[in-house]
Amino acid sequence: MASSNPETESNNGSSIAKEPEKPQIEAFRMPTMEEMRAQEVWNNCAVRSVASGVMGGGLGLMMGMFLGALDNPIMQEEMTGRQQFMYTMRQMGQRSWSSAKAFAVMGLIFSAAECVVEKARAKHDTTNTVVAGCVTGGTMSAKGGPKAACAGCAGFAAFSVLIEKFLDRHT
Amino acid sequence: MAETEMEYRVELFNRLAQTCFNKCVDKRYKESELNMGENSCIDRCVSKYWQVNSMIGQLLSAGGRPPM
C-alpha cells in the first residue's frame, strides 16, 4: 500500500526567492530475490558468529601488536640493534597471536549466543545482549571455578550493555 | 467469482500484513531493515495466521454450522 505524494511547486519565478530544493521522494520498490537472499545470509547464526570471530581476531591482532610493541624487552647481556629488533618483533607476534585468539573466541561466542537468543525470543531487546554477555563472560572465566564464572558473567554482561548503549546512542 | 476471490485475497494480505506488523515491529525503530528478532517474529506470525485462516476456512466450508 505505497502512496507517493506528488510535489506541487508553484513555479512563478517572481515570488520564490531562494527556496532550498526539497528532496525528491522516490517510489518504493520491493526487494528483488538477490537482495533478499543477500539479507538472508546475514540472518544465519553461523555466518554471523564466524564473521564476528574474524573481526574479533583482527581487533585482537591490532591490540596485541600495539601492546606488544610497548612492552620493554628483558635486556639480555648484549644485543645488537638488529637482535633487539628481532626480539621485539617476536614478542609482538606472540602477544598479538594470543590476544587475537582470545578476542576471536570472545567475538564468536558472543555473536553466536546473541543470535540464538534473539531468534528464539523473536524480539530485539537488551535482554539478548545481557544473556549473550553473561554466557561469554562465564565461558571465558570458567577455568577459575563457579565464583569466577559468575563474576565474569556479570562483568561482561554489564560491559556489553554499556557498549551497546554507546553504539546506539543516536536514538 | 474471480472478483470476490481477488477481493478476499487482497483483504487477507492486508490484514495479515497489518496484524503482523503491529505485533512484531517496535514502533520506535532506528533502522529500516528488519533485524533478526523481527524476522523470526514475522515468520512465526505469518505461519500461524495462515494456518488459523485455512483451518477456520475449512471448518466453515465443511459444515454449515460452526461447531461450538
pLDDT tens per residue across span A145-157: 999 999 999 999 9
Is B11 part of a structural domain of the chain? yes
Q: Could you tell me the pTM of the whole model?
A: 0.77
Here the cell at position A26 is 522516490
Residue A13 in this model has a pLDDT that exceeds 60: no
pLDDT tens per residue across span A22-63: 788 888 888 889 988 888 888 899 999 999 999 999 999 988
Which carries the bigger pLDDT value, residue A72 or residue A64? A64
Q: Which of B28, B36, B39, B44 would best serve as a mutation to test chain A binding (most A beta carbons within 10 A)?
A: B36
Write out the residue range of the structural domain in which residue B11 sits: 1-24+35-43
Residue A71 in this model has a pLDDT that exceeds 50: yes
Task: Find, in chain B, the residue whose alpha carbon is nearest to that of A42.
Answer: B36
Q: Into how many domains does chain B fold?
A: 1
Is B7 part of a structural domain of the chain? yes
> What local confidence, expressed as pLDDT, does residue A78 receive?
59
Does B26 contact chain A (CB < 8 Å)?
A: yes
Q: How confident is the model at residue A2 (pLDDT cuts 50, 70, 90)?
A: very low
**Which amino acid belongs to residue B5?**
E
> Would you list the DSSP string of chain A?
----PPP-----TTT--SPPPPPP-PPP-PPPHHHHHHHHHTT-HHHHHHHHHHHHHHHHHHHHHHHHHHSPP---S---HHHHHHHHHHHHHHHHHHHHHHHHHHHHHHHHHHHHHHHHHT--SHHHHHHHHHHHHHHHTGGG-HHHHHHHHHHHHHHHHHHHHHHT---
Average pLDDT of the residues of chain B: 90
Is B55 part of a structural domain of the chain? no
Is B48 part of a structural domain of the chain? no
Is B19 part of a structural domain of the chain? yes
- Of A39, A119, A125, nearest to B40 by CB-CB distance is A119
Kindly list the residues from chain A whose CB atom is less than 8 angstroms away from the CB atom of residue B40. 118-119, 122
> What local confidence, expressed as pLDDT, does residue A36 receive?
85
Task: Give the 3-state secondary structure of residue B65.
Answer: coil
Is B68 part of a structural domain of the chain? no
Kindly list the residues from chain B whose CB atom is less than 8 angstroms away from the CB atom of residue A119. 36-37, 40
CB pairs under 8 A between A and B: 32
Q: Which of residues 84-103 of A touch B (CB under 8 A)?
A: none
User: Of A21-30, A63-72, A75-84, which range is least confident?
Assistant: A75-84
**CA A149 to chain CA mean position, Å:** 23
> What local confidence, expressed as pLDDT, does residue A10 receive?
43
> What local confidence, expressed as pLDDT, does residue A20 receive?
65
- Of B24, B30, B39, nearest to A168 by CB-CB distance is B30
Is B66 part of a structural domain of the chain? no
Does B23 contact chain A (CB < 8 Å)?
A: no
